[in-house]
Structure 1
Amino acid sequence: MDPDDWQLTERVWARARSGKGDPFAAAVRATRMAMIITDPRRLDNPIVFANDAFLRLTGYTRLDVTGRNCRFLQGPDTDLDEVARIREAIAAERDVKSELLNYRKDGSTFHNAVFISPVHDEDGTLLFFFASQLDVSERYALAQERDRTRAALETNDLLLREVGHRARNDLQMIAAMLALQSSNSGDPAVRAALGEAIGRIEALGALYREPVHPQEGAGHDLADLLREIADTLVAASGRAHVTLAFDLAPLRIRPDAAAPLALILNEVLSAILKHADPSQALRLTLRVTREGEAVLVEVEEDGSGTALEADGFATTLVDALTRQVDGTRQLRERQPSGHVIAFRFKAARVAA
């Protein structure tokens, strides 16, 4: 080191210890933040003061850094465009802030938030540059981890979509095979049984449709699920005088509750359509409401007769599925005719 550098460093330290001189007093007051002071009046604007925090941050000794331009912190992956921007600001004697990938003495890297300000005397003559450094590597690491997590989620979403697409195709193929078998059977009971099986398969197939709003996250929206199942069943029934009405509050449901809920609705609607008088118009109203800690699902029909109760197997299946998701079922009469089949589920059990 040049003897003059030693003398200048000693003067800087003396002034810092005394608290006299704004740049040096500021450096002492902020000892927890890495900082340096450079002298632009000397060749290559060298460091003339470095606090202990700077030395701890970079791994260099005071002897290593004094008298050198701070470009020694740069390395192969340092952004040269950003370095050029800093150099232009220094040449113009203006404040500049930047973030650079810097290198410690041992070769390890850190992301450095740099703040550089010129220091002028009373007549505007440039005396020093004051620079503080802050290690922001943790923020960069968190951002990288966020990006990796986002990429992993996007990949998983694509895989789930592909699995769902294939599952739905498989279910449709099974339904088609059962439909072919049904059409080749002359036994009405066999055809009816196969028709019911096809309906259940199609209800499960609704679980694997493309999500309407994929950005809303995992799980099915119960309103969308019920609407699709109802539309499919009514269309398959061939009845021209069935009116569907919906009063469905949006509700994301847990994946393990989706299949039981889909099958429950399928059995209820299938029983109603099966036993309703085909010569009369039929209005079906589906409701989903949230009532405190409970989710209510209701199917209202304006026909006559307890359709679900008339089908022993459907009743047994619905009750078993309802218990599976910790729900209860209630049958109420509707005035002047018809019934309401009401289900109550614990929101914590079915809501996502």
Structure 2
Amino acid sequence: MSDQAHRTASDRETERGNDFDRARDQAQRMQIHSESGVLFEQAMAQTRMAICLADPNQEDQPIVFVNRAFRELTGYEEDEIVGRNCRFLQGPGTDPAQVRKLREAIASEDVVVVELLNYRKDGSTFWNALHLGPIYNEDGSVRYLFGSQWDVTDVHAARADEKHARMMEREISHRMKNMFAVISSIVTMTGKLDGAEGLAEKINARIRSLGRAHEAMLEVSFTEGPTDPRKLFEDLLTPYAPQGRDSLTLTGGKVPLDSNVVSVLALTLHELAINAVKHGAFAAQEGHVSLEWQVIDGSEGDGRLRLLWTETGGADPGPGPERHGVGMTIIGRMLAMGEGEIRYDWRAEGLHVDIQFPTSI
């Protein structure tokens, strides 16, 4: 669930609590000033909040009043409700611990709020945010138990979805780490058997880069819409930067990213960072890399992700071809397969790279 969704749910709960207090106070006043209960019944019948009154002074604390909203929420008629204890709405899925909280509150004359899984007349379920509190006589004795019910099934479902998403995130993260570890082990063993340990380490570095990229993206993988890739870029580039995060300037907002785009981004930035360590900005303590990103319109109006990589303050960049090794060839071919492109500009102050590719590959 997003922060806005959490705030909205919290605001709704606060509002409902205020409604409960106002309705209970109104019921208290009307009970005192109108023993006939006519005014109370008229007022309570009109509210959209489901309300019931129970008599704690009778055996088994039966319900003595319900309004229309209560009947509509539960599906029962008035003559099927009045005279029964409110537990008739409970069922096999109702949490006994929440029921105990209700009983304890009644015994101590406290106001309590609980969430119960309740059952309608047709057998369907709903999550009930039940507010329960006492209404007193003028002499201080308890006259009624006042209960208001709110259907919070949608809020409860959102919480369940969020919990499930987090569980899935942890499981995916665990499996992903295992997968990359297995691949890395295979590459390492193959390199030793073939006498190509150096090549194996280069491949493993690229695998580790992919692993960091996908690990960073798990935090937003269940979020719909554009994503802020700043953390992804930090995780990818900081290990190569001579002064860590201080050697980087990251500028850009949220952009659409799918898993294929993340893979291309990870390998592209990995190769650029490795080259910067060998020949460019990251080869000097004072070197700096600026990375900017944005979504631009393609020639036919299709969205394209554009990244501008700028190196300054590093080692002498030298002629372009010296920095155009296997890694950059890999980048070029990957981008070409995804209808992307890359342009290099070896300037005196450092390398400038312009990368563009579709937001979905």
TM over 0.5: yes
2:58 aligned with 1:58 = no
Paired amino acid for 1:306: G
Give the Cα separation in 2 of the matches to 1:291 and 1:181: 37
2:341 aligned with 1:341 = no
CA separation of 1:106/1:343 partners in 2, compared to 1, >3 Å: closer, same or farther? same
- Secondary structure at the counterpart of residue 140 of structure 2: coil
Aligned 8 A contact 1:39 1:46 in 2: yes
2:303 aligned with 1:288 = no
In structure 2, the residue matched to 1:82 is 98
- Aligned ranges 1:99-114 → 2 under 5 Å: 99-114=115-130
Aligned partner of 1:96 among 89, 108, 112: 112
Paired amino acid for 1:135: D
Paired amino acid for 1:287: H
Give the Cα separation in 2 of the matches to 1:288 and 1:83: 60
- Secondary structure at the counterpart of residue 290 of structure 2: strand
Any idea what the Cα deviations from partners look like across 1:33-58, whole Å, max 9, x if unmatched? Answer: 22222233433322222222222222
In structure 2, the residue matched to 1:236 is none
Aligned partner of 1:327 among 336, 339, 342: 342
In structure 1, the residue matched to 2:133 is 117
Aligned 8 A contact 1:38 1:46 in 2: yes
How far 1:198 moved relative to its partner? 5.8
Aligned partner of 1:28 among 45, 56, 80: 45
CA separation of 1:128/1:223 partners in 2, compared to 1, >3 Å: closer, same or farther? closer
- Secondary structure at the counterpart of residue 309 of structure 1: helix
TM-score by length of 1: 0.64
2:254 aligned with 1:255 = no
- Secondary structure at the counterpart of residue 260 of structure 1: helix
Paired amino acid for 1:263: E
Paired amino acid for 2:249: A
Paired amino acid for 1:297: T
In structure 1, the residue matched to 2:203 is 201
Give the Cα separation in 1 of the matches to 2:109 and 2:99: 15
How far 1:162 moved relative to its partner? 1.5
Paired amino acid for 2:352: A
Aligned 8 A contact 2:53 2:64 in 1: yes
How far 1:140 moved relative to its partner? 1.7
Aligned 8 A contact 1:264 1:321 in 2: no
In structure 1, the residue matched to 2:256 is none
* Structure 1 stretches lacking a partner, 5+ long: 1-11, 183-194, 232-242, 274-281, 335-339
In structure 2, the residue matched to 1:191 is none
- Secondary structure at the counterpart of residue 58 of structure 2: coil
Paired amino acid for 2:345: Q
2:325 aligned with 1:317 = no
Paired amino acid for 2:348: E
In structure 1, the residue matched to 2:310 is 297
- Secondary structure at the counterpart of residue 254 of structure 1: helix
Paired amino acid for 2:134: P
- Aligned ranges 1:45-194 → 2 under 5 Å: 45-177=61-193, 180=195
TM-score by length of 2: 0.63
CA separation of 1:285/1:244 partners in 2, compared to 1, >3 Å: closer, same or farther? farther
How far 1:216 moved relative to its partner? 5.5
In structure 2, the residue matched to 1:306 is 318
Any idea what the Cα deviations from partners look like across 1:108-160, whole Å, max 9, x if unmatched? Answer: 33222222233334343443332221122222222112211221122111121
Aligned 8 A contact 1:264 1:318 in 2: no
Paired amino acid for 2:351: I
Q: Who wins on radius of gyration, i.e. which is larger?
A: 1
Greater alpha carbon shift after TM alignment, 93-102 vs 133-142: 93-102
- C-alpha RMSD over aligned residues: 4.4
CA separation of 1:209/1:254 partners in 2, compared to 1, >3 Å: closer, same or farther? closer
CA separation of 1:309/1:28 partners in 2, compared to 1, >3 Å: closer, same or farther? same
